[in-house]
Amino acid sequence: MSQTIKGFKSHLAADVDTNLIVACGVTPANKPEADALPAIVADLAHYAERNEIGELHIDRGYLASDSVQELHANKIRIVSKPWRPRPGELFAKREFKLDLGRRTITCPAGHVEKIQLGSVTHFPAEICDACPLRAQCTDAAPGRGRSITITDDEPLQKKLRLAIATPIGRERLRERVMIEHRLAHHARKQGDRARYLGLRNNVFDARRHAATVNLERLQFAEAA
């Protein structure tokens, strides 16, 4: 998760079992969250094998990182909300049936088109114009059909959409609340202004405050 400090964003990774911060990263404030993930994953690689990533609970802003795709390809479970579908009352992408094995997509009316990862699938205008469900599916002008974007990480996005549609999947998402608490505690320590010039110095500052937060957590656990 990230927290904006003046000029920079601070990113944290925490262990959901111990409630301890295990990695920190800093990026310029105008950079997307995904840019921070490679450094976070590299930090985690320094831990002993027993502390390797078992599951990755992240905000969907980090899904654009290539590191997520690498972890997913290595059978690491990703827990996140999927990309947000476009607003409105038209049929959402989740109402189209994706068959990633056959590389096809079936619209709510039953028409099938081929798909390719990282591209846009266009349903034929003549099919959509004659479709009785057209008004519920697209607001495009007559003579144009519905389009669906197929992302490069569509296999992962499909898993995330299926997970969030179940009570168990939504419960898993709530496990990430712990890191939100760690982030808030860290932000109170670090403040909302960067103390130093340059990324390297501010990464050191983030780690210094993370160590303090961890020591307080350990003290509280021991007292309990």
* Tally of domains within the chain: 2
The answer to whether residue 206 is domain-embedded is yes
Give CA–CA dist 190/170, Å, rounded. 31
Cβ atoms of residues 144 and 109 within 8 Å: no
Give CA–CA dist 100/113, Å, rounded. 12
Q: Are residues 144 and 117 in the same domain?
A: yes
Q: Are residues 73 and 142 in the same domain?
A: no
> Whole-model pTM?
0.75
Residue 118 is predicted with a pLDDT of 93
Placement of tokens 């992408």 in the chain: 93
Q: Are residues 46 and 70 in the same domain?
A: yes
Query: 44: buried, middle or exposed (CB in 10 Å: 19+, 13-18, 0-12)?
Result: middle
The answer to whether residue 161 is domain-embedded is no
The answer to whether residue 155 is domain-embedded is no
Q: Are residues 146 and 198 in the same domain?
A: no
Q: What is the pLDDT along the chain (224 residues), one digit of tens a residue?
A: 555 556 788 888 888 888 888 888 888 888 888 998 988 888 887 765 555 678 889 988 899 999 999 999 989 999 999 987 765 778 988 899 999 999 999 999 999 999 999 999 999 999 999 999 999 999 999 999 999 999 999 999 999 989 998 999 999 888 878 778 888 888 777 776 667 677 888 888 888 888 998 998 888 776 65
Residue 148 is predicted with a pLDDT of 94
List, in order, residues 6 or more apart from 173 with CB less than 8 Å away: 57, 79, 80, 81, 164
Q: Are residues 74 and 177 in the same domain?
A: yes
Residue 177 is predicted with a pLDDT of 81
Query: At 109, which amino acid appears?
Result: A
Q: Are residues 76 and 110 in the same domain?
A: no
Q: Are residues 207 and 103 in the same domain?
A: no
Q: Nearest-CA neighbor of 32 among 67, 71, 77, 75?
A: 67
Residue 48 is predicted with a pLDDT of 53
Q: Are residues 101 and 45 in the same domain?
A: no
Domain of residue 112 covers 93-150
Q: Are residues 37 and 137 in the same domain?
A: no
Residue 223 is predicted with a pLDDT of 67
Q: Are residues 135 and 203 in the same domain?
A: no
Residue 203 is predicted with a pLDDT of 85
Q: Are residues 145 and 104 in the same domain?
A: yes
The answer to whether residue 163 is domain-embedded is no
Q: Are residues 65 and 124 in the same domain?
A: no
